Chains A and B, each alone.
Chain A
Amino acid sequence: MTDENQTTEQELDEVIETGALPLDAWHRDQGARMVEFAGYYMPIQYEGIIAEHLWTREHAGLFDVSHMGQLTLEGEGGAEALETILPGDISALKPGRMRYSLLLDDNGGILDDLIVTNTGEHLAMVVNGAMKWDDIAYLYEALPEELTLNHHDEKALLALQGPEAATAMARIAAGATELKFMQAGLFDWDGVPLWISRAGYTGEDGFEISVPGENAEKLAAALVAMDEVKPIGLGARDSLRLEAGLPLYGHDLTPESDPVSAGLTFAISKARRAEGGFAGSDRILKLLAEGAPTARIGLALEGRQAAREGAEVYAGDQKVGVVTSGGFSPSLEYPIAMATVGSAYAKADSLEIEMRGKRLPAKIVSMPFVPTRYFR
């Protein structure tokens, strides 16, 4: 082995070293089991996924989602530049308003899903933790040089979710409880600036709070000191979002999926449908007009055995699709799944999922599996 190779291996080690986020020590103090996720140590659970899941549906859960990428885009024409990639009407976004959108490749394949907010000063984007480095590289390449893309890794991101989230939030920043779903604003908490969005990934009412990393522990501690709030891990975050019918990037959405087959046509704004001009718009607008060959569907299973990602979906003897997410629903007390199937089967009477050599009967159901309770 030459010296050059050794250097390369050392560098590689540095690159793949797992990072600690601002709340790392706090999670461990709270009794979290930590796992590696998206390059960081993250809490997968505290007392147990089912208890944490049900607590969030009944009270309020505090999630650390600081692994997600918090980006801002500054400069003249930022919205128009983003619209060359995203299918959303970004230039029509008023200050304090946010929108779900999709980062598309030149073929209209989904590279990530994200939330774009007009903060009044600039455009802010929250992207998936596992995708953020790729997203940043892609945006750097695709956006004009005059624009400045910043990655705010000095900030933590907390999500407070559940029917009692607003009660808890009122004690931190009363004004934030006046926000409606998909609205955001800057608030002050004892001199700490909090950028608060009324949004989340659980199907419940709730907030996402962007806070300077050095103040994150103080904020998390203040929230879990309240009777309504418990810390919740990534495990319950996944079961909650599945019940809410929300797709997870890298599983339900991939570069092979597109906004139409993924059932996310709401993210293609009306104006953009007329004008196109976003990445892959020729193909996407054609799919929109003619229908996509596959569809993302929700499945409810009989019995208790869950279907897992990768399990094949059958209509009789014919393989018609694949499960992209699946698990036992703590709220419904039966297994649920999302799958991609041929569009001809998206309204089939019944399908079967093959798990461990057995066929599990499944019924197609509309999503969300559990009704959402956003504050509109």
Chain B
Amino acid sequence: MTRYFTEEHEWIDVDGDVGTIGITDYAQGQLGDITFVELPGEGDKLAKGDAPCAVDSVKAASDVYTPVSGEVTEANAELEEQPELVNSAPETDGWLFKLTLSDTSELDGLMDEAKYKEFVESL
């Protein structure tokens, strides 16, 4: 399994053609206390760059973009009751949704962990 990162602070774990998407620890730290997560529905067809999710903090709502195109297979139902999982475990239990990738070549432009770390430090 390989993990990729975006400049919009999403991460995607890829296992074959299945991707799991969430926001990074840096992103949750910037957003602050998360009170609600709007999730996509199973079967939603997404194009790279769509915003199928929004993460609500006390202050503001922030869009989450999908780094790749594909069809949503599952959304993290735990977040309906416990949106704060995105704060406490953003890169594990606080994942947002899974999808079947329609074009794995879209991963080419994304960063690996080392590059993302460098990117965050440059901000």
Contacts and interface: CB of A to CB of B under 8 A. Distances in A.
Contacts of A48: 32-33
Nearest to B84: A50
B59 A49 contact: yes
Contacts of B32: 45, 48-49, 235
Contacts of B33: 48-51, 330
B37 to A, nearest CB: 9
A376 interface: no
Interface stretch (A73-81, A186-194, A205-213, A300-308): A300-308
A305 B56 contact: yes
Interface string B24-50: 000000001101101000000000000
Interface residues of B, number: 13
Contact of A327 (B38, B58, B83): B58
Contact of B35 (A44, A235, A308, A328): A328
Interface string B9-30: 0000000000000000000000
B60 interface: yes
Contacts of A355: 61
B38 A305 contact: yes
A239 B35 contact: no
Interface residues of A, number: 21
B100 to A, nearest CB: 24
B34 to A, nearest CB: 9
Contacts of A50: 33, 58
B96 to A, nearest CB: 15
A306 B61 contact: yes
A306 B56 CA distance: 7
Interface string A38-61: 000000110011110100000000
A210 B2 CA distance: 56
A199 B57 CA distance: 28
Interface of B: 32-33, 35-36, 38, 54, 56-61, 83
22 contacts: A44-B59, A45-B32, A48-B33, A49-B57, A50-B33, A51-B33, A53-B58, A235-B32, A235-B58, A235-B59, A238-B59, A239-B58, A303-B36, A304-B36, A305-B36, A306-B36, A308-B60, A328-B36, A328-B58, A330-B33, A355-B61, A356-B61
Given A235-B58, A306-B36, 10 more contacts: A44-B59, A49-B32, A49-B33, A49-B58, A50-B58, A238-B59, A304-B36, A305-B36, A306-B35, A356-B54
Interface of A: 44-45, 48-51, 53, 235, 238-239, 303-306, 308, 327-328, 330, 335, 355-356
